[in-house]
Amino acid sequence: MKIKNDYVLREIAGDHVLVPTGEAAAKYNGLFAVTEVGARIIELFSECETEEEIASKIFDEYDVDEETAKNDVHDFIESLKTQDILE
Amino acid sequence: MSSVEPILSQYFHNKGCRLGLPVAGNFELTPRCNFNCKMCYVHLSKEEADRRGRELTADEWLGFAEAARSKGLLFLLLTGGEPLIRPDFKYIYTELRKMGIMVSINTNASMIDDDYFEFFKKDPPMRFNISLYGTSDDTYESLCGNRSFEKVLNNIKRLKGAGMAVKLNVLFGPSNVDDMDGIRRISEETGIPIKPTTYLYPPIRVSCDETGGNKARFSAKEAAYYDFVCDKERFEHEMFVKRTAALCRGIKSEVSDEECDGVPSEGIACRAGRSSFWMTWDGKMMPCGMMVEPVTYPLRDGFDAAWKELRAKTEEILMPAECKNCSVRHACHVCAASTYAETGRFDGKPQYICDMVHERVRYYKDEYKRLEESGDLERYASEVKPNEN
């Protein structure tokens, strides 16, 4: 998994945003606010193959139970798909 | 995940002011322009520009952008002069976008040819702020020395038609006041919002001899009258009634200039020098493009040190003491830039602005009486209550 090259993930004083550029900016003129965990999930795209692997990492790194980690990762990835942000 | 940019913008600015982060910047890429407007505060002849300094190179601009980005820069306005006049504009813009910076562009829209249009279609800016000077080639010639109205109007419609975000900035003065209705019609027909201004700053950046005057502006009383007329025409009636009620009941209008949000106070109240900075074409840093001081020097000292020094100097600015207890303070948009431009001091009382604001309030009070008699005040603004403090 990977976000489209048209999106730039920025961290500004502890807050995270996805900035659309190029074609993405032509479709949507604005910013997407992303939570800290959302930004971490996006980072994990480069080192994990599957949704399950990402959920496992989130379970390891955050104070969260396994079921919640799985659901949250799934929901976040679905919302990226809905917004057409994933490759 | 949400997509609420205006709220995010306000959030980041508030955070920037609190933490001293340069969330927003303005790059004045050039003092050059293909227009020669009577009221311009930047445009210099080539000889005068050469005498004062040199334009930064594209890579110098990008270096400062990267330094600012690492400190939080998210919103950047590219302005001039006419920024599209630079042959390397596309390179600068493309690299800024790759950094994940939300870029807006101030332009007169006369240089957007097919090539620029296709370029922007592929990666549109957050917004074009287009200066519209009138509704005929004759007005353009008299005000800007250039018969470009038809070309500008076509480009405005073309950008809007392609789905790009456009706002029209309109400065009204004696030379184009007769075009006011026509400009309103263009705004209505295209659905493009308009930001009218009848207050013109003295162009002290061109010459300090200009302090307190601007040969292209109205008298204070005329500026107040046309400001009132602009408000009445650009707002829906219900909103206008609410604004009238608010102003006459001592409440600051909720519709303010997004770049200049704030109220008169002892210190600087807007974002300038607190969460935003302005870099002049020759590489000086200032809180706002309308100012001539305080100035810091990022070329000499580096971006971080210049920004830190700018914030400290901005904090020292004190506004006129009289403004603090003024009876029409809530209706006044006086700022540090305008007090300096009008009087040569930050704490000088700007008589032109005082006269304009008092006159403007008088127009609103007359309107208030009319709205009271017609019943519209009761109908639309009964819930608009004065502040307790």
Q: Answer yes or no: is A87 within a domain.
A: no
Q: Confirm whether A29 is domain-assigned.
A: yes
Number of domains into which chain B is organized: 1
Would residue B109 be called left, alpha or beta, if left means φ above 0 and alpha means ψ between -120 and 50 degrees?
left
Question: Given CB atoms, is B21 within the 8 Å cutoff of chain A?
Answer: yes
**C-alpha distances in Å from residue B315, one per residue of B13, B20, B163, B287:** 17, 11, 41, 11
Mark which residues 109-148 of B lie under 8 Å from A by CB: 121-124, 126-127
> Do the Cβ atoms of B204 and B292 come closer than 8 Å?
yes
- What does the pLDDT look like over B184-203, one tens digit per residue? 999 999 999 999 999 999 98
Instruction: Spell out which chain A residues touch chain B, with contact meaning CB-CB distance below 8 angstroms.
Output: 8-10, 12-13, 15, 17, 19, 21-23, 25-26, 28-35, 38, 76, 79-80, 83
Would the pLDDT of B360 be above 70? yes
B282 closest CA partner among B272, B292, B268, B271: B292
Residue B350 has pLDDT above 80, yes or no: yes
Strands B127-131 and A7-12: unpaired
Place of tokens 């999106």: A7
pLDDT of residue B322: 86
pLDDT tens digits, one per residue of B55-71: 999 999 999 999 999 99
Rounded distance between C-alpha atoms, residue B384 and residue B389, angstroms:
15
Q: Among residues A76, A87, A84, which one has the least CA distance to residue A27?
A: A84
The amino acid sitting at A18 is L
Q: How many CB atoms lie within 10 A of CB A84?
A: 11
State the DSSP code for B267: S
Residue B260 has pLDDT above 70, yes or no: no
The boundaries of the domain holding residue A45 are 7-82
Shortest Cα–Cα distance, A84 to chain B (Å): 13
| Residue A71 in domain | yes
Q: What's the CA gap between B202 and B200, in Å, rounded?
A: 6
Question: H-type helices in B134-213, by residue range?
Answer: 137-144, 149-161, 180-190
Number of domains chain A is built from: 1
**Does residue B135 form part of some domain?**
yes
Q: Which pLDDT value is given to residue B342?
A: 95
Distance between CA B119 and CA B341 in Å, rounded? 38
Distance CA B311, CA A2 (A): 39
Distance between CA atoms of residues B246 and B239, nearest Å: 10
Q: Is B19's Cβ below 8 Å from some Cβ in A? A: yes
Residue B10 CB neighbour total at 10 angstroms: 13
Q: What pLDDT is stored for residue B263 in this prediction? A: 46
- At residue A19, the pLDDT reads 97
- pLDDT at position B289: 92
Residues with Cβ < 8 Å from B57, sequence gap 6 or more? none
Quote the ipTM score: 0.94
Interface subset of B 234-293, CB within 8 angstroms of A = none
Find out whether A34 and A16 touch, Cβ atoms under 8 Å.
Answer: yes
Query: pLDDT tens digits, residue range B305-316?
Result: 999 999 999 999
Task: For residue B98, list chain A residues with Cβ-Cβ distance below 8 A.
Answer: 8, 21
Local structure of B118: helix, strand or coil: helix
For A54, other C-beta atoms within 10 Å of its C-beta total 25
Distance CA B85, CA B32 (A): 7
Cβ-based contacts of B72 with chain A (< 8 Å): 12-13
Min CA distance, A21 vs chain B (Å)? 6
Specify if A56 maps to a domain.
yes
pLDDT higher than threshold 80 for residue B114: yes
Contact A12 B165 (CB under 8 A): no
Q: What average pLDDT score do residues A12-26 get?
A: 95
Q: Which of A9, A10, A21 to mutate to test the interface with B (most CBs of B within 10 A)?
A: A21
More confident of the two residues B159 and B268 = B159
Range of the domain at B147: 5-251+271-317
Contact B12, A12 (CB under 8 A): yes
pLDDT at residue B389, rounded to an integer: 44
Nearest to B276 by CA among B79, B55, B124, B90: B79
Which pLDDT belongs to residue B5?
A: 46
Of A11-15, A59-63, B94-98, B230-234, minimum mean pLDDT range: B230-234
Residues B30 and B46 sit within 8 Å (Cβ to Cβ) = no
- B297: in domain: yes
Within-domain flag for A2: no
Distance from C-alpha of B310 to C-alpha of B273, rounded to nearest angstrom: 6
Q: In DSSP terms, which residues pair with A20 in a beta bridge? A: A7
Question: Is the model's pLDDT at B259 over the cut of 80?
Answer: no
Is residue A49 a part of any domain in this protein? yes
CATH number, position B9: 3.20.20.70
The model's pLDDT over B3-48, given as tens digits with 9 standing for 90+, comes to 444 678 889 999 999 999 999 999 999 999 999 988 888 888 778 8
Helix/strand/coil for B277 = strand
> Range with the lowest mean pLDDT among B117-121, B135-139, B334-338?
B334-338
Q: Among B1, B4, B126, select the one facing A34 at the smallest CB separation.
A: B1
- How are beta strands B276-279 and B285-286 bridged, if at all? antiparallel
Do the domain assignments include residue B300?
yes
Q: Is there a domain that residue B338 lies in?
A: no
Does residue B357 belong to any structural domain of this protein? no
- Of B140, B161, B159, B160, nearest to B150 by C-alpha is B140
Q: At what angle do helices B114-122 and B149-161 cross, to 10 degrees?
A: 30
Residue B197 lies in a domain: yes
**What average pLDDT is seen over chain A?**
95
pLDDT (tens digit, 9 = 90+) per residue, B287-338? Answer: 999 999 999 999 999 999 999 999 999 999 998 988 888 899 889 988 899 9
Average pLDDT of the segment spanning B360-383: 94
Give the pLDDT confidence score for residue B264 in this predicted structure. Answer: 46
Contact state of B99 with A32 under an 8 Å Cβ cutoff: no
Q: How far apart are CA B152 and CA B172, in angstroms?
A: 17
CB contact under 8 A, B4 and A33: yes
CB spacing of B3 vs A28 below 8 angstroms:
yes
Residue B367 is assigned to a structural domain of this protein? no
Average pLDDT along chain B? 91
Name the band, by pLDDT with cuts 50, 70 and 90, for residue B387.
Answer: low
Q: Is B384 among the domain residues?
A: no
Q: What is the pLDDT of residues B198-255, one digit of tens each?
A: 999 998 888 878 888 888 899 999 999 999 999 998 889 999 999 999 999 988 765 5
